[in-house]
A and B are shown apart, each in its own frame.
Chain A
């Protein structure tokens, strides 16, 4: 061999003297893995059966960008076998937290419980983040997004422009490209204006025989941009015999704060929701967007303090609307809808919550509807919460991949049950001037119940 090698040792061979394996679990304070139970790492047997399900691995083909590799990177840091380098951090940041790997993993690795606390700890320990004031994070992400009313107010001028047709003019002139960075990326994500309707009332009674009593969660971005879907959802719940309560003191689920590295802010929101929803009064807390539901179902895992048992109890009550209606026994709608549709699995619904069959079963009941399978349905569309704003290149690649798959089905409508996916797919449809409608499953079901045509 003619080259000097620094790698030319076989490492970590168990049972050999020089091995380095005693370096297991050297997690001390200051280690980003400090808050992670080491058992969670040991679950991964390194079989690699998950890699092909991972969107970033599929796009890039590098194990560093796949679940098995990311688990190994984190575990090396946990073991004290490696310092977290900038490059390793990049690979971990590129993860969409879409949990496709969780669905694929036969070993039951709870990947979200590894990557989320790990990234959170890295962000919190990053002194540069504090030193360098990030206006986008501070103002837009943490102070604007999670508040539906503020968001609606800020969007008002844009909405007026859209109504007047000025929005499209500005887009044609390329004026939006002048808006810098992540803010500029948000503009094309804005959906075209629709009448969202008034704020939901505190109570909506069941239609027909009363079968359940539920509380409805409205959220932030979802309420500001998709209020019409909220209305559709409660109507569908009513049609299924549910008394629907909408507690007015509720707030955002906290996911935006949590994923932006502000664990404390997220906890505050979670705890406000604990107060807002009186658990004993309801059979379930219903969520209609996958991302919020996934976050709230994990309330019990994120923080270990006095309220933890209460949060865990809360989490148990949280149900995705499809999941809930499917379990309750879904009353099929009667209105015919002659259309071809395809269904996109929102990651936080299908992978994080394991709800994939219920929505399909429900739309299959709509008379006249033809359903076509979406290839790579479980591969993330690139929205992934606020990922789209931070990892623009990967987000764009995945959006294009998603749209090509949608178009390959020839369906007229694509359905999804998560705000982020709806925004992302809508934006891509507009960008590529494709002709396919993007709707929430509840919107379509509602049309069928009301016997209104498309």
Chain B
């Protein structure tokens, strides 16, 4: 079999088993979890090391193709959508935990290591610490992907997002050079490691990550508060935050999503609940009682039907599973969905949720909601049937309007999923021309030829 020159070179450099180029095998790489747009890559490469990555970048430069990095492909914003003439770089075979250092509470991992893989490994060593970012997709998503999107998760509220837990990265830049930023902080230099995090693979391809490990809290308690109306639930969130309480997590699910979650996990949420808040508090055991009291009182004040504590660790795990798998469970409601990722100031939460419902009615699109409510991060899920192009257009229009509304509330178009291709059109709305020009300058400095994930994050 003869291959085109590009493929031949890749096969020589990486080994034939690490390159896919048969059209019938490329099809499954035409999109990630954002399925509204698809395109097949020219080839898929599976580097095994940073040197493989660098070599691939040099080959791509010579052949004028771009590179789209991909971990688990769970991006909800199309961050891994292949571009025009692009190679897809699967980092799944760079999945080793290179080091766990319990004394310094750090770990060094390759980008393809699963978020949960690290947590499990730490659990097995009874390390007493964990990697704090816990995106809902943590069972499947990779740390490389978490770094690329600066992922958050329910516990972001107290512990911060990925950038707060990464000490340094090794990356391959757009000219094929391997650089290392961190892990030792050098106050005299730029925070380049910070710059790489959340850059969605547009500045460099991360090949190694030094992460910070967070001590496990001494104690934790998880609650579910059942409300008759979404409004009561969102008011509660606003008041908890206003009272100066910082729960470890403060999550919201509305009635629509609860139906799907109940079908999936049979947790036992009442079928007629208007909304549920999942609240977790953690810290020193002695400090938990007063927090609990305050929170329960606020829930009750806002007409919570009941506030129940997860009585066993298993129940707590199931509660979290319900919340974290909620988005995936929407397959039970409709064949396709668009998941938006907007942020509003927390005081605006009741307003935005109200507006989302209105927008759904206006476009005749069913919208169900999950939210990292404590962060003001809403995730309306717009349901449609992909076989109906007209309905798809309405869903897209409704999605745009939701983001418009987030901006109008003084919020932002993305919290944690990244811009990808989904939010590209909104960048000029959120940023001024001068802001965008600065972004482009940065991009050019790292990737002069524009070989790294072009067409994402920064509008051209």
The residues of A with any CB-CB pair to B shorter than 8 Å are 1-15, 19, 21, 24, 42-53, 57, 61-64, 68-69, 72-73, 76, 82-83, 85, 87-88, 91, 104-109, 375
From B85, B329, B331, give the contact of A8 (CB < 8 A).
B85
Q: Are A3 and B263 in contact (CB under 8 A)?
A: no
Counting CB contacts under 8 A, is B126 at the interface? no
Q: Are A15 and B20 in contact (CB under 8 A)?
A: no
Closest partner residue, chain A, to B261 (CB atom): A106
Q: Which residues of A contact B44 (CB under 8 A)?
A: 62
**Which of B22, B38, B41, B264 is within 8 Å of A11, CB to CB?**
B38
Residue in contact with B46 in the complex, picked from A24, A61, A82, A107, CB distance below 8 Å:
A61
- Which residue on A lies nearest to B114, using beta carbons? A52
Q: List the A side residues contacting B390 at CB < 8 Å.
A: 15
What is the CB-to-nearest-CB distance from A63 to chain B, in angstroms, rounded to a whole number? 4
Chain B residues closer than 8 Å to A10, beta-carbon distance: 37-39
Give A43 to B387 CA distance when docked, in angstroms: 13
| Distance A135 CA – B330 CA, assembled complex (angstroms) | 47
Does B173 interact with chain A (Cβ within 8 Å)?
no
Given A9-B39, A50-B140, A45 contacting B337 (CB threshold 8 A): yes
Contact A104 B6 (CB under 8 A): no
Interfacial chain B residues near A62, Cβ < 8 Å? 20, 44, 46, 90, 92
Other than the given A63-B28, A104-B139, A106-B331, 13 more pairs (CB < 8 A) read A3-B6, A3-B64, A12-B38, A14-B386, A21-B386, A45-B35, A48-B140, A49-B139, A52-B116, A62-B20, A63-B90, A85-B22, A107-B328
Nearest opposing residue in chain B for A6, CB measure: B23
Q: How many residues of B contact A (CB 8 A)?
A: 67
A4 to B42, CA, bound (A): 10
Verify B64–A72 contact, CB threshold 8 A: no
Partner of A76, one of B27, B33, B120, B265: B27
B456 within 8 A of A: no
**Residues of A contacting B105 in the complex (Cβ-Cβ under 8 angstroms):** none
**Contact B331–A44 (Cβ < 8 Å):** yes
For A108, the chain B residues whose CB sits under 8 A away are 263-264, 329, 331-332
B37 touches A49 (CB 8 A): no
12 A-B residue pairs with Cβ-Cβ distance under 8 Å, sorted by A, are A3-B6, A3-B42, A6-B23, A7-B40, A47-B33, A47-B331, A48-B72, A51-B73, A52-B140, A61-B90, A61-B112, A107-B264
Residue B74 interfacial (CB < 8 Å): yes
Q: Which residues of B contact A49 (CB under 8 A)?
A: 74, 137, 139-140, 325, 328
Q: In whole Å, how far is B416's beta carbon from the nearest beta carbon of chain A?
A: 16
B330 adjacent to A107 (CB under 8 Å): yes
Q: Give the residues in chain B near A106, CB-CB below 8 Å.
A: 264-265, 325-329, 331
Pairwise interchain contact B328-A105, C-beta atoms closer than 8 A: yes
Q: What is the chain A residue whose CB lies nearest that of B6? A: A3
* Given A14-B392, A15-B393, A49-B139: A64 and B72 interface contact (C-beta under 8 Å): no
| Contact indicator A48/B74 (Cβ below 8 Å) | yes
The closest CB in chain A to the CB of B29 belongs to A63
Please state if B84 and A45 are interface contacts (CB–CB under 8 Å): no
The residue from A5, A8, A12, A69 contacting B28, defined by CB atoms under 8 A apart: A69
Smallest CB-CB separation from A376: which chain B residue? Answer: B120
| Chain A positions within 8 Å of B365 at CB level | none
Using known A-B contacts A1-B85, A7-B41, A87-B24, determine if residue A52 contacts B72 with beta carbons closer than 8 Å: yes
> Nearest chain A CB to B273's CB is how many angstroms away?
19
List CB contacts (< 8 Å) of B4-33 with chain A: 4, 6, 20, 22-33
B319 at the interface (CB under 8 A from A): no
CB contacts (< 8 Å) of A43 on chain B: these are 331-332, 335
Q: Which of B339-394 contact A (CB under 8 A)?
A: 386-387, 389-390, 392-393
- Checking B33, B64, B65 against A46 with a beta-carbon cut-off of 8 angstroms, the contacting residue is B33
Residue B301, interface by CB 8 Å: no
B60 to chain A, nearest CB (A): 11
In angstroms, Cα B74 to Cα A387, docked, is 30
Q: Is residue B93 contacting chain A, with contact meaning CB distance below 8 A?
A: yes
